[in-house]
Amino acid sequence: MNLLDGINEPDDVKRLSGPECATLAEEIRALLVAEVSRTGGHLGPNLGVVELTMAIHRSFDSPNDDVLFDVGHQAYVHKILTGRAGDFATLRQRHGLSGYPSRAESPHDVIENSHASTALSWADGIAKAHQLKGEHDQHVVAVIGDGALTGGMAWEALNNIAADTSFPPRKLVIVVNDNGRSYAPTVGGMAHHLNTLRTTGGYEKFLSWGKQALQKGGAPGRFAYDALHGMKKGIKDVIAPQGLFEDLGLKYIGPVDGHDLAALEKALHQAKSYAGPVIVHALTEKGRGYAPALADAADQFHAVGIIDPETGESAQKKSTSWTSVFSDEIVEIADRRKDIVGITAAMMIPVGLHKFAAKYPERVFDVGIAEQHAVTSAAGLSHGGLHPVVCLYATFLNRGFDQLLMDVALHREGVTFVLDRAGVTGPDGASHHGMWDMAILQVVPGLHLAAPRDAARLREEVTEAVAIEDGPSVVRFSRGSVGADVESLERLTDGVDVLARGGNDVLIVSVGALAERALDVHGKLAAKGIGSTVIDPRWVLPVPGSVITLAGSHTLVAVIEDGVKVGGVGARVRQDLRAEGLRTGVLELGLPTEFLPHGTREEVLAEAGLDVDSMVERIIAELPEQLARPRRAG
């Protein structure tokens, strides 16, 4: 029997001997490769934290001690050690194991959000709560990837954690999982600071060079040693991060080999004994133990689809993605316009900026996991005479909304936002669905938002977006394959495309990648004798005037969108109709204001009522009775 078969809770890990722990680590890595290669998921990060997670669970007492992960995609090993190894066959599948910590799954899971740089604030609050309630036997352990330290929120938390002088002190242990990477290699000053320690071995090693010079004899050697020793504080600030952390008032342990279980446990037990918050700095290797991941210089298999577990090669049918279409188009635009610059927040490859960066490296900026800085920096670039294109996952725009509103829109700066993974994204679940953007962005004065239905329209609308120089423009598109182009019958003077005509009972307004679905609804309504027109506004905010004009000549408007209904495009159409004195009914066929579960895109859309049959039923139910009765088609 495998050792893994006997791991149902953290106490089971504590009972293992050193050699047994080494065997268990091998079994965990084998399980991760076997299962994640079949379902897809975050492979590289979890291969890198096997020993680290084992050490945490052998040193602390979850769930009495709170163990938090930032970002949650590095929590697979935590799930395994807390009794969920047998569920990995369902990873990221509907009604299966979540790809992130999930309170519904286990009392060992504390925070579910997959947005980075939040765990230290959570840890600060939880530790304060324990302290105020007199729960002095409970520790809070926050595991934060070094990439998450590029986020400003993490430093806001550190500032407050370090300033606490209460007694008895809070029992808070911060474990920095330093693998030199977030998605790709970590960028920024903090990354350079940590990397210097990784490569030099720190102050003591640096000082030993002076000792060696002294032993070799002569005045030069003594001068070197005395100079190094005399500059102790300055050297530590330059080459060792404990200078930075200790200057904040935080105790520091490390760096520790993140794959040496005994060394990790020693460091963690030392941290437990300290009076007050302490940082444990662990050096790990992303993709550890899996040759294909280690050979992948770009992201070390950060996130994979279905792959061949032996070779690491993709086992999925190749198709054209929305991201790849954008990636090629932005390079062509950059060729034509020297003022175009790109910005991303630690997602160069996922958002498709890597080709632009390869051709024009001086014109593309990766700011780390710092969306707020990215957006305001873009405002500055615009003011300086350039046109920035800020590329983010739609879900991460939430983090830079204030900056978009007050720094970009208020100052009428020409900044284009390209939102990848908009709408329902599928297996990554609630925190990754890009379903909030259209509702949030409706309130921004002067903002223009496009939702392309296919590759041709994506190329068109990105070109149109970067031509807007007096305020923010947004282009949002879906995750995955782009599919075939959906041609229009006619383009109206304000850019609205008419996709189908068949009568004036229903005006179907299709937003973005739902055009094929809208045309299927049109066909099924026609079969029931109900005539409809299908249009794609292309630019959905503000609502084009022809949409309102067409709505006035139809009995019902049905707006199909993969954003939340509250405050969505349908709601905006309803408001604009009312403002024009038109009483045409509007049916908002969008997503509920709920945190939607993980599953395939099709499964999640169907559960939200956006499958074709459900939409047809709802449209018929909204029509006046005389129109809803079955009629002979034609």
Q: Give the C-alpha distances (Å, rounded to integers) separating 24 from 20, 175, 389.
A: 6, 22, 46
Number of CB atoms found within 10 A of residue 205's CB: 12
Q: Is 290 annotated as a binding residue?
A: yes
Would you call 286 a catalytic residue per the annotation? yes
Residue 166's closest CA among 278, 276, 279? 276
Q: Is 85 annotated as a binding residue?
A: no
Q: Is 108 annotated as a binding residue?
A: no
Selecting among 58, 171, 286, 574, the annotated active-site residue is: 286
Radius of gyration of the chain (CA): 28
Q: Give the C-alpha distances (Å, rounded to integers) separating 468 from 195, 449, 494.
A: 41, 11, 15
b/e for 446-457, b at 16 or more Cβ within 10 A?
ebbbbbbbbbeb
Q: Is 302 annotated as a binding residue?
A: no
Specify the residue for token string 């149109």: 464
Q: Give the C-alpha distances (Å, rounded to integers) separating 151 from 75, 367, 372, 403.
A: 20, 9, 9, 15
The CA-based angle 369-374-379, given to 5 degrees, is 170
Selecting among 355, 399, 457, 574, the annotated active-site residue is: 399
Would you call 602 a catalytic residue per the annotation? no
Q: Which residues fall within 8 angstroms of residue 561, CB to CB, at 6 or more apart?
A: 438, 511, 512, 514, 540, 568, 569, 570, 588, 589, 590, 591
Is 598 within 8 Å of 94 (Cβ atoms)? yes
Q: Is 137 annotated as a binding residue?
A: no
Tokens of 326: 């954008």
Q: Is 148 annotated as a binding residue?
A: yes
Number of CB atoms found within 10 A of residue 50's CB: 27
**Rounded CA separation 6/124 (Å):** 34
Pairing relation of β-strands 416-420 and 387-393?
parallel
Q: Is 114 annotated as a binding residue?
A: yes
Selecting among 35, 51, 265, 371, the annotated active-site residue is: 371
Would you call 233 a catalytic residue per the annotation? no
Q: Is 73 annotated as a binding residue?
A: yes
**Rounded CA separation 386/16 (Å):** 60
Annotated binding-site positions:
73, 114-116, 146-148, 179, 290, 371
Annotated binding-site positions for thiamine diphosphate:
73, 114-116, 147-148, 179, 290, 371
- Residues known to be catalytic: 286, 371, 399
Annotated binding-site positions for Mg(2+):
146, 179
